[in-house]
Amino acid sequence: MSMIETINLTKRYDSFEALKSLNLKIDEGECFGFIGPNGAGKTTTIKILATLLRPSSGQAMINGLTVGYQNRQIRPIIGYVPDFMGAYEDMVVTEYLEFFAAAFNIHGAQRKRVVSDVLELTDLAYKHDAEVNSLSRGMQQRLSVARVLLHDPKVLLMDEPASGLDPRARIEIRELLKELRRMGKTILISSHILHELAELCSSVGIIERGELLFQGPVRDVLKRARMGRVYQVVVSDRTGDAARLLEKAPGVASVSIGAEESAGSANGHYADDRVIHVAMDDDSGESHLDIPNRLVNAGFRITHFAEESVNLETAFMRLTKGLVQ
């Protein structure tokens, strides 16, 4: 069952189109990563789903309810976490959460129990009497998540929740999101920290200039971005001579020396000017094993040979053009 769905969702500001016929479908219990450069339309999409913006045309639905027409029924089942939280000055953590619990008609003993539960879940119980403004950025983000969990929503809409956090705070947010995923929440999360999305999310959507370029499982986006077989070779010496030899080998489409954008490469262990990148022509039918054989027969000693991996960051760079609106 689709928990979140958009059909030709479009948002215009005068003649400017922030979203262009966006079609998303996110299943119940899924953690969906929304990827795109600044200005791509991620925040606009999330604000429409959070019932904070009305679309110019098309539809957005949460659990079968239509945004803009059934907002009163939608709001109790969603939780919206913006990139920066707002807080009333001089409020302590418990007061802040009790205020929002009251807004959701949670009262008396139930309110105290719910506040205590979300503080434990977000690991903020020891800060229950601290002023909100005194909290670190990471703790404030966890408090923002605690706030939206008070009414136990089915859907979490999270706009760059790890933005501006230090490494430790990012890890804490990531572990919290994993726990929420285990609880069966449907999560839509936008982020620029792509390697963390790959670990958290079962599927992703890539958006650029308001248009959805790709949606599907992480493994599919990596496969789409692979662009043929590329191998990394490092020899003990005479790198340039080895590269020139491989340029003439059957089935080799191109050879280059230096840093490539792929993660998981040899570059972590070898200087860039020692890594040879060999792209194979998939239509040639030649085996990649001809590469090391040819080098060994010519007297080169190979210290590294592996196929280049493609991670989510590589896929994002290959599938987008870096255009902003």
**Model's pTM, two decimal places?**
0.74
Q: Which domains does the chain have, with CATH numbers?
A: 2-224 (3.40.50.300), 227-309 (3.30.70.100)
Query: What pLDDT tens digit does each residue of the chain (325 aa) get?
Result: 789 999 999 999 988 999 999 999 999 999 999 988 888 899 999 999 999 999 999 999 999 999 999 999 999 999 999 887 776 778 999 999 999 999 999 999 999 999 999 999 999 999 999 999 899 888 988 999 999 999 999 999 999 887 777 778 888 888 888 899 999 999 999 876 666 677 788 888 888 889 998 888 877 766 665 555 778 889 988 998 999 998 888 888 888 887 554 434 444 455 567 888 888 776 655 677 788 888 899 999 999 888 776 555 666 666 565 544 4
Give residue for tokens 């976490």. Answer: 81
Give every CB contact of residue 146 below 8 A, 6+ residues apart in sequence.
Answer: 97, 118, 119, 121, 122, 124
Contact 265, 309 (CB under 8 A): yes
Residue type, 55: P
Residue 322: closest CA among 218, 227, 209, 213: 209
- What Å distances lie between residue 274 and 258, 265, 266, 304, 314, CA to CA? 7, 12, 9, 10, 21
Q: Tell me the angle at which helices 93-103 and 137-149 cross, rounded to the nearest 10 degrees.
A: 30
